[in-house]
Amino acid sequence: MKIARDAGQILLGTALIYAGITHLTTSRIEFQAQVPTWLPLSADFVVLASGVVEICLGLALATLQYRRYVGWTTAAFFVAIFPGNISQYVNGIDAFGLDTDQARLIRLFFQPLLVLWALWATGIFPRKGRSRPIFRR
C-alpha cells in the first residue's frame, strides 16, 4: 500500500507542477475565466499566485517529505479554489472545453476527489491503526 500511496503522491505532485506552469504560461487566460468576479483581486494576480502555489505544492508532494503537512495544505488549497469552479458553473463561463452546463456541473464533483486524493496519498486518510471496519461481522 505504501508504494501505491507514494506513486499517488508523486503523480499528484507532478500534475500540480504541470497545472502551475500552465497557470503562468499557456492557459493563463482560461484560468482567469475561473476567478470569481466577487473576489476583490485582479484575476491575473490570482491566476499567477495560484500557479506559484501549485508549483510549490507539487514540488513538496514530489519530494515525499513532511507528508502530513503537505497533505493538509494541498487539501486546503483544493478547497480554497473550489469557489472558482462554482463560479464557472453558476455564471456559465466556457473554459478548458467545459462549454455546457452539464460539463461544468460534472467538473464540480472532481474537486472533492482531489481533496480525498491529497489526504489519502499523504497518509492522512485513513490514518494507519485508526481505521475501523464500517460493518462488523
pLDDT tens for 57-82 read 999 999 989 999 999 999 999 999 99
Q: What interhelical angle do 110-121 and 101-108 show, nearest 10? A: 20
Residue 130 belongs to a domain? no
Per residue in 18-64, pLDDT tens? Answer: 999 999 999 999 999 899 989 999 999 999 999 999 999 999 999 98
Q: Which of 64, 54, 71 is nearest to 18 (CA)?
A: 54
Within-domain flag for 137: no
Domain region containing 54:
2-121
Residue 127, domain member (yes or no): no
pLDDT(10) > 50: yes
Give me the number of domains the chain comprises. Answer: 1
- Give the C-alpha separation, 31 to 46, whole Å: 9
